[in-house]
């Protein structure tokens, strides 16, 4: 972390002071959260300190156990997808984008979402119907960037069938090791809104490249439940950034970094913007830099099924079902 506050002329640069002040503020606001994580699970501390460094991660990967064969591997809804191809792409690029949900499955989840109230900005007090987003912003007097279903999604059998699909665990076990376990399942909207603050965007993981640091090794499957184009807030992944890290991105306390800084290091050609029809699925190693973008025109409905290797901290999640 660079806390230098002098400009080229040797004098104090007000801009640098402001920048570093805001950096310190961003770190300071997270301290209570870090202390809660530590109290809940002391094993969180070595992960938090070392899992951002390549040597620390490589050491931990050595403990990956062999994956056990999955008995019901053929019962997958993702017919024609070879597990080896998925794992190979994850190892080289950190991303595989050739999954497609059957149309009855993504339609059933989207229908469920359209008729079920969601919670705005991860806050259970901000409950609204997704098709009343504009009225809800007026009624609640604030911008609503996201709408989550939390545990309500467990009432949707089609979502559960995606969560339980044997291909997902098989890929996770062959990529993360035999310790791989399902951690979380979430379905949420990202809404176009002109008024979102930077804090809202940070909370929703939108608009800023970041890497996830909730476990030593993680994998996230994402599925679009509506068609996603450039105006629907597509997800972006920086190919290859999961296994190559600039020192400044290993020794940083912050997971979010400006786009120019990330692209200067990993290459202007490295971001992949995921655009496609309803049902498009992709899986990524979220240690690689990634972000959602704020929808400019149309709301995006998305599902995530996440895997990890350690006991998840309940606090890290925002109400979505955490499977222990």
Ligand X SMILES: O=C(O)CCC(=O)C(=O)O
Residues that bind ligand X (CB under 6 A): 190, 205, 212, 235, 286, 290-292, 304
Minimum CB distance to ligand X, residue 240 (Å): 17
DSSP one-letter code for 16? H
CB 220, CB 304: distance < 8 Å: yes
In terms of CB distance, is 185 or 205 closer to ligand X?
A: 205
What residues contact residue 18 under an 8 Å CB cut-off, 6+ apart? none
Secondary structure of residue 318 in the 3-state scheme: coil
In terms of CB distance, is 16 or 259 closer to ligand X?
A: 259
| Proportion of the chain in helix, strand, coil states, percent, rounded to 5 | 40, 20, 40
Minimum CB distance to ligand X, residue 97 (Å): 13
Minimal CB distance to ligand X: which residue? 292
Minimum CB distance to ligand X, residue 39 (Å): 24
In terms of CB distance, is 171 or 228 closer to ligand X?
A: 228
In terms of CB distance, is 67 or 212 closer to ligand X?
A: 212
CB 76, CB 218: distance < 8 Å: no
Minimum CB distance to ligand X, residue 37 (Å): 17
In terms of CB distance, is 67 or 293 closer to ligand X?
A: 293
CB 138, CB 193: distance < 8 Å: no
| Cβ atoms < 10 Å from Cβ of 124 | 11
In terms of CB distance, is 178 or 240 closer to ligand X?
A: 240
Minimum CB distance to ligand X, residue 24 (Å): 24
**Angle (CA) 175 169 159, round 5°:** 135
CA–chain centroid gap for 311, Å, is 18
Output the CA–CA distances (angstroms, integers) from residue 275 to 233, 237, 280, in the order listed: 9, 12, 8
Minimum CB distance to ligand X, residue 304 (Å): 6
């Amino acid at each position: 972390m660079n806390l230098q506050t002098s400009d080229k002329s040797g004098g104090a640069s007000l801009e640098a002071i402001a920048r570093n002040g805001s950096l310190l503020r961003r770190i300071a606001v997270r301290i209570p959260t870090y202390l809660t994580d530590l109290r809940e699970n002391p094993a969180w501390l070595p992960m938090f300190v070392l899992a951002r460094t390549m040597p620390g991660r490589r050491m931990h990967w050595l403990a990956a156990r062999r994956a056990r064969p999955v008995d019901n591997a053929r019962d997958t809804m993702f017919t024609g997808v070879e597990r080896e191809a998925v794992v190979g792409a994850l190892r080289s690029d950190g991303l595989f984008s050739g999954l497609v949900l059957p149309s009855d499955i993504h339609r059933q989840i989207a229908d469920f979402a359209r008729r079920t109230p969601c919670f705005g900005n991860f806050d259970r007090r901000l409950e609204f119907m997704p098709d009343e987003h504009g009225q809800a912003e007026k009624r609640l007097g604030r911008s609503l960037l996201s709408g989550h279903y939390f545990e309500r999604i467990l009432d949707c059998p089609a979502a559960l069938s995606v969560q339980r699909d044997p291909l997902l665990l098989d890929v996770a076990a062959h990529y993360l090791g035999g310790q791989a376990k399902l951690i979380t399942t979430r379905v949420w909207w990202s809404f176009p809104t002109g008024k979102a603050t930077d804090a809202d965007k940070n909370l929703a993981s939108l608009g800023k490249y970041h890497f996830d640091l909730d476990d030593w090794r993680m994998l996230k499957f994402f599925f679009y439940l509506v068609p996603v184009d450039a105006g629907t807030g597509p997800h972006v992944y920086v190919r290859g950034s999961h296994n190559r890290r600039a020192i400044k991105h290993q020794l940083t306390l912050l997971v979010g970094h400006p786009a120019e800084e990330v692209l200067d290091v990993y290459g202007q050609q490295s971001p992949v913007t995921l655009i496609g029809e309803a049902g498009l699925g992709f899986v990524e190693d979220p240690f690689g830099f990634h972000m959602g973008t704020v929808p400019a025109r149309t709301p995006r409905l998305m599902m995530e099924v996440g895997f990890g290797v350690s006991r998840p901290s309940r606090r890290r999640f925002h109400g979505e079902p955490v499977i222990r």
